[in-house]
Structure 1
Amino acid sequence: MTWRRHPRSASADDLLTALGRLTDRARKTAEIQKARVELAEVLQRSMLPSDLPEVAGLRVAARYAPARNGLDIGGDWYDGFLLPDGSLGLSIGDVQGHDVEAAAVMGQIRIGLRAVATATVDPGEILGRANDLLLSVDQGLFATCSFLRFDPATGVVESARAGHVPAVWASGEGCGIVEDETGVPLGIVPGEVYPVVRRRLTEGDALVLVTDGVVEGPAFPIEAGLGAVSELVGRAVRERVSAGGLAAGVMGLTALTDHTDDAAVLVLMGAAEAAVPE
């Protein structure tokens, strides 16, 4: 018996052609999305410092991860700069929204904090003046922020918080969440007062600050996220992980939160002497 191949029906040919077109379109869409994510990351990173200053007694590292939704550019930031008295000023924060406007306001707040810090080195006063400055330009957006000042002469960290996520600390004696008092976010209430908390950072101690994109997700509460950070930081201090390694590890926790927001991490570690930022 001779077997003969039946001619393919026109409908089958059309189906295969359509399938090929859909496959090609999906591939091109994936390539475009990848390009959009890369563009968003380049734009965002261009607004963040390329490196952080070096001071005696401190190792500092930072990481940033963009939002996962293409050009949903976020308003998360970190910063570090020398203050007039030789101490180090550091900030981390998150502007409301996920668009170009939020990113623009983020840049303005960073510049504003630096400008205010030329007149005063008190973290609470810096946040207070930055708050009034943000209200005066009437952007209609608010921002959470933590500002810190590290004094290399004493090893003391002074910090103030404007509605931002609490910091996590660890030393040879343990680890936990910094339960300090906070003021409201910047850009909401004029004349707000921001309390200052002081903590000595000795060799091997760590202080870690994050934005909510690191510790909170659609089905992941912030308390669980902070708990995971605390556990990781405590283990890193015991194992003498570097500041850069710790920052990378904390950023890796975004896999737990399934974050769609952008995210930033800032790590301070006490050191015997100055070290190049990681």
Structure 2
Amino acid sequence: MNRRRSPRPVSADDLLATLGRLTAQARVGAEFQRARVELAEALQREMLPASLPDVPGLRTAACYSPARGGLEVGGDWYDGFRLGDGSLAFSIGDVQGHDVEAAAFMGQIRIALRAVAAAASDPGDVLARANDLLLSVGRDLFATCSFLRFDPRTWRLEGARAGHIPAVWATVDGAYGIAEDEGGLPLGVLAGGDYPVTARSLGRAGAYVLLTDGVVEGPSFPIATGLGQVARVVRDGAAADPEELAAEVLRVADSTGHADDAAVLVLRHDAPPGR
């Protein structure tokens, strides 16, 4: 007859040894994850522009807030640069994922947009070319994006969207709204994508504001609600300094409960010269 051996009683020393081993493993894992987060944050800081372009009558400002929950890092970005014909280009976007790979992909997209913008005919062409270029890299990531081009000679603003949330606009005389322009698929999803272009003549002084969904969306806070709140902020601050307006828009994120990162890009424009 076989007898089962009684298990050896677990002593306090055994429990302490096990606890110490698990604690050491958790510490190593946490330190590794923290190192990845610090690397991603450093990549983001270095890849965001140190300054934004402007011209007489058009002032720009941007705000960025990193992810506020846990150890995640987002891939939001904004950018602005001059084109060879004298116009100004602006972009904002959000990369899928929250890690070093997302931050690195964000840098690739910024470079791709700058590279193709010099030869593209309009913002829709910029997004189409950048989309195909990113697909050729073979990364399993995608990104939403809005791309604008401002012509200081005509005071005309052209824009296209790749799956990104709409911009918000307002004029100093109290008009305001959400720019629900037609858009295309996010970048990196499907080759040969089409990105319709919407053109606006900035006939009255005001503000045009681009943002990422981290500003306006939360677990129980629909995007439509957040966009409405931002629209009211932009209406009230259409004549304000662009840095102040960008900061006020970013504060909307505090009410959404969203832990994602967030970015805001403000174009504060006067009426066309001579008007």
TM-score when scaled to structure 2? Answer: 0.82
Amino acid paired to 1:212: D
What CA distance in whole angstroms lies between the structure 1 residues aligned with 2:42 and 2:140?
26
Report the equivalent of 1:153. Answer: 153
| 240-249 or 51-60, which deviates more | 51-60
1:169-223 CA distance string (max 9 Å, x none):
1112511111110101011111011000011224531111110000001111101
Structure 1 counterpart SS, 2:169: strand
1:36-64 CA distance string (max 9 Å, x none):
98876544222100110122331111010
Q: 1:206 to 1:44 in 2, by over 3 A?
A: same
- Give me the identity figure in percent: 64
Q: 1:36 to 1:124 in 2, by over 3 A?
A: closer
Give matches, 1:159-178, under 5 Å. 159-171=159-171, 172-178=173-179
Q: Which runs of 5+ in 2 are unaligned?
A: 1-32
What CA distance in whole angstroms lies between the structure 1 residues aligned with 2:209 and 2:186?
20
Q: Indicate conservation of the 8 Å contact 2:36/2:99, yes or no.
A: no
What CA distance in whole angstroms lies between the structure 2 residues aligned with 1:221 and 1:112?
31
What CA distance in whole angstroms lies between the structure 2 residues aligned with 1:87 and 1:41?
31
Report the equivalent of 2:143. Answer: 143
What CA distance in whole angstroms lies between the structure 1 residues aligned with 2:174 and 2:268?
15
Whose relative contact order is higher, 1 or 2, with alpha carbons under 8 Å and at least 6 apart?
1
Q: Which runs of 5+ in 1 are unaligned?
A: 1-32
Amino acid paired to 2:258: H
Amino acid paired to 2:180: E
Structure 1 counterpart SS, 2:235: helix
1:64-90 CA distance string (max 9 Å, x none):
000113542211000000011010000
Structure 2 counterpart SS, 1:170: strand
Give 4+ residue runs of structure 1 displaced > 6 Å after superposition.
33-39
Amino acid paired to 1:145: C
Q: 1:273 to 1:52 in 2, by over 3 A?
A: farther
Is 1:199 the counterpart of 2:200 in the alignment?
yes
Report the equivalent of 1:257. Answer: 256
Is 1:248 the counterpart of 2:247 in the alignment?
yes
Amino acid paired to 2:96: Q
Is 1:115 the counterpart of 2:125 in the alignment?
no
Report the equivalent of 1:234. Answer: 235
What CA distance in whole angstroms lies between the structure 1 residues aligned with 2:133 and 2:36?
33
